[in-house]
Structure 1
């Protein structure tokens, strides 16, 4: 009994000391986070790099996790929100501003007694009003200040804003059916899904462009709720044809729910089994929102799971068509490899650019890029299988149209080790010629941006907008590996084709924001083999011998890249 009392006393003593120790650690971490924020704000160069902002943000959020109920956590939340707000002023990515609002509101909810609570509500209201044009939300936050902190330093300014926004006060009684209230908004027309072990891509098809925001609700062990991701689409209506609940159960995503939580807004909720990270970005023409979710889910992929579920029905879906195109004598396997542990290539996806209603570039004598790329891709796929003894899959083996995001989505789904997209170049200058290889990255080169605009089927302005989206995608993309693969392929193309043809011009390895490379989880490149707009090179692009020599050159580059991987794996 005496020993028990001693142990109990010792335990109570440890508990009494734990609080001060944790608080001291949080305060020290907060000081270091503040110093890193000051260094960031003092360097215009650092402010141009997203990873610098995110590193500071991580420091502040780590403080919150260390001592969530402390006054230091409130300070850290406010600084984290300010960091996101500062990032938005550089990136102009609205998800950054949305995250700032969420952090400010978390501070107000969790630390209502803090002197920063009314300041946080004021900042949230200003962002809602000026960035998102959500004046009703801004009114609500200003009202919270006046009602909850009438003597705070933000109250006077909040009263002024309430008068200015009086037309946006919440209606009473509530307005009628939210769906009926949508005027001129786009419609959520389809939901397309495909899964891989630890990776799921969902595409939300809309009838027109719309503002959207995304947010994550973490799991709550107290209530037993699992993590959720939701996307709110402004000015949109959900069609009757779209099911309110879509069951997925792929080991990562349990189900998808659609609803209308407010006027002129549709919410798509993703109930998650596990959660690691997510990316949400829009693509144009047609307008759609792509949601990439990663986690630790590792389902057993069966053939029945290979179909893409969506509106319109599955037979019209791009990934469904890809899977249907697999030869009967060699059915497509949906086994997901663990990865290149020994540096060996197991599976490669070759993408024939364009197709179907998208002809791509048109040559001087009428040759279509979609026909040239399909012929070259088939030769390359056959030669790759012979050279490496690995499985090679075509994104398309017929004249079918595939949205660009479905191509890397397919490569991710089947666990490809490499993704190679074959294209033919074009220029308004019919004397332009040569070969160049691209990988996904930012670009300061006007010519590269023009090529990206043509291959994306967008304008130069939209390509510039995509550069901002790339801020959110760079961290998980295989940039270094892709650049090495592009360098090896480009070098080999110039050397080997130069032995057989005159005027093989080395246009170099370039980088650019290509839709077809977005979201790839493996090294991925885009090869512009020659110019259809040049009569000499158009003739080569229609010649099977050129196809074979180009394929052999690409294989040589892939081999050099794979050998380097194998050597690194052996170290």
Structure 2
């Protein structure tokens, strides 16, 4: 009996602390699980290429730190959250991911100053600010914190070296202000406004474009259908610090068999939300484009057969004049959907429909030659001549993405080709180089850039920086199945050979730069073989003069048309529908 009373007394003493032990154990399990997911991701070369995998790991560490702030693993979780965010940034090159890593490290250093990882956090935060966010003043502050607050830390030497290296950038104000907010402001240019949300319905997917005033951090979420509540599958995107412009409708009804409606709003003062109510769902892709800043969402699913075979409707603003495709370019409100009537399929084995894209246009002049000739004017003239030659020699329908000097965002160009069920997509451009002596012809297809020159051309045509090109290349991993890369490479080879052979008969020299691969926005998401043709160097005085010549344009158009004809005969390419 005495023994029983003894154990009962011990139990009563320990009873108040049992929940703490349970919480501690749960915190340990949560951290171990998050770290196991991180290691699994690190060991998967393919898995690391998908943003959602990184975000899942990061959220795992974040949840540990927030749910168990007094646990011995809380500082470890913040440290690993920072490392995972850095891993994502190394792939995405998005400053928002670098700032996220910075926030993890700042929180660790501030909330757990006695942790043996606090000095590591100071050093890593300084490194991010110095090398990734280009904020040397705040980088100095972080290094100096590592020196002053952690004189016995193993990062002391590195922090001391960093503070010495950046001593000229030491701020006059006192230490303690958040660098994350400072760096965010340095990367911003005013408030983030969402001023347009538009969409296009294609037989196999629907594209939604969110146009914003500047870059912003966004997070996609997928909610499964709730039959009890009558809720469809919903895909929504949260944009941090975003505000929806009053002119954007709160609800857009779509009803294309895949997308039921688009809803936009501000659930809180610092958050904008775009909700896609889906009729059916299989997969989605999301990426960003610049100039102007946009988030592009492609949602795929099994559209009902009756809607899949219906004639396409371009859901975009309608112009008051111009041809059918050009009317999608204007920003004026649409009163009625624009219908594009397509002919019935031609004999099997023949090309039925080709979209020719005149590069640049409107506010985007493209490259400008020594005498002031604009690439947008050359590409339009050449595209019109090519359309005539293709229709005459192949007997197919040719659709121009633009037939006048108007601006057309890059993502809309392939969307047009997908919408009308094109068999081929040809984007016409004129090349440019800082070296005024550079000349010749080259043809590109969508793939990873293999050299710096190809990346530079892609950056120029995309209107982006070279750093952003690497971000775009990652998107291609998700799109390889639809890129028709093999067929595109053969088409590019035929066009390149035909251009060089035919132009060389009339001009000397015509330098052959060959077929190249590059991550071009204008080719992204095309469901058919697609190429980008650089017809000559507009930056070269001699070739600028050629490009202006109607004879050169006609000869180039004839050469491209012949190449397309050869490609058609060899491959028996037909539309997928």
Matched, 1:98 2:48: no
Q: Please name the residue that 2:314 is paired with.
A: 306
Report if aligned partners of 1:427, 1:533 keep a CA contact under 8 Å in 2.
yes
- Which secondary structure state, in structure 2, belongs to the residue aligned with residue 502 of structure 1? coil
Report if aligned partners of 2:431, 2:534 keep a CA contact under 8 Å in 1.
yes
| Structure 1: gaps (5+ residues) | 1-74, 108-117, 143-156, 161-181
Q: For 1:160-187, what per-residue CA distance to the aligned partner results, in whole angstroms no more than 9, with x for missing partners?
A: 9xxxxxxxxxxxxxxxxxxxxx996411
Matched, 1:277 2:234: no
Q: Please name the residue that 1:482 is paired with.
A: 488
Please show how residues 83-94 of structure 1 align to structure 2 within 5 Å: 83-84=40-41, 94=51
Q: For 1:370-395, what per-residue CA distance to the aligned partner results, in whole angstroms no more than 9, with x for missing partners?
A: 11111110010011111111110001
Distance 1:430 1:281, change over 3 A: same
Q: For 1:228-287, what per-residue CA distance to the aligned partner results, in whole angstroms no more than 9, with x for missing partners?
A: 211111111112222221111111100011233445221111111112221110111211
Structure 1 window deviating more from structure 2 (415-424 vs 121-130): it is: 121-130
Q: For 1:456-503, what per-residue CA distance to the aligned partner results, in whole angstroms no more than 9, with x for missing partners?
A: 122222223322333333343222221111111111111222222221
Report if aligned partners of 1:492, 1:557 keep a CA contact under 8 Å in 2.
yes
Q: Please name the residue that 2:372 is paired with.
A: 366
- Which secondary structure state, in structure 1, belongs to the residue aligned with residue 288 of structure 2? strand
Report if aligned partners of 1:336, 1:414 keep a CA contact under 8 Å in 2.
no
- Which secondary structure state, in structure 1, belongs to the residue aligned with residue 472 of structure 2? helix
Name the CA distance, whole Å, in 1 between partners of 2:211 and 2:413.
16
**1:534 alignment partner, one of 520, 536, 540:** 540
- Which secondary structure state, in structure 1, belongs to the residue aligned with residue 572 of structure 2? helix
Q: For 1:281-325, what per-residue CA distance to the aligned partner results, in whole angstroms no more than 9, with x for missing partners?
A: 0111211111111222152687894231xxxx6549999862469
Name the CA distance, whole Å, in 2 between partners of 1:510 and 1:235.
40
Q: Please name the residue that 1:451 is paired with.
A: 457
Distance 1:318 1:196, change over 3 A: farther
Distance 1:272 1:334, change over 3 A: farther
Structure 1 window deviating more from structure 2 (283-292 vs 451-460): it is: 451-460
Name the CA distance, whole Å, in 1 between partners of 2:511 and 2:549.
19
Name the CA distance, whole Å, in 2 between partners of 1:183 and 1:355.
26
Please show how residues 33-432 of structure 1 align to structure 2 within 5 Å: 83-84=40-41, 94-100=51-57, 185-221=191-227, 224-262=230-268, 264-298=270-304, 299=307, 305-308=313-316, 314-315=318-319, 322-323=326-327, 333-335=340-342, 342-432=348-438
Report if aligned partners of 2:34, 2:57 keep a CA contact under 8 Å in 1.
no
Q: Please name the residue that 1:148 is paired with.
A: none
| Structure 2: gaps (5+ residues) | 1-31, 65-73, 87-96, 109-114, 119-187, 331-337
Q: TM-score, normalised by structure 1?
A: 0.68
Q: For 1:52-91, what per-residue CA distance to the aligned partner results, in whole angstroms no more than 9, with x for missing partners?
A: xxxxxxxxxxxxxxxxxxxxxxx99997775446669995
Q: For 1:132-179, what per-residue CA distance to the aligned partner results, in whole angstroms no more than 9, with x for missing partners?
A: 8679x99xxx9xxxxxxxxxxxxxx9xx9xxxxxxxxxxxxxxxxxxx
Name the CA distance, whole Å, in 2 between partners of 1:318 and 1:459.
34
Matched, 1:438 2:438: no
Name the CA distance, whole Å, in 2 between partners of 1:193 and 1:317.
21
Report if aligned partners of 1:307, 1:323 keep a CA contact under 8 Å in 2.
no
Report if aligned partners of 2:242, 2:272 keep a CA contact under 8 Å in 1.
yes
Structure 1 window deviating more from structure 2 (182-191 vs 239-248): it is: 182-191
Distance 1:567 1:455, change over 3 A: closer
Report if aligned partners of 2:224, 2:232 keep a CA contact under 8 Å in 1.
yes
**2:516 alignment partner, one of 507, 510, 513:** 510
Name the CA distance, whole Å, in 1 between partners of 2:206 and 2:339.
19
RMSD: 4.6
Report if aligned partners of 2:189, 2:214 keep a CA contact under 8 Å in 1.
no
Distance 1:76 1:317, change over 3 A: farther
Distance 1:345 1:321, change over 3 A: closer
- Which secondary structure state, in structure 2, belongs to the residue aligned with residue 471 of structure 1? helix
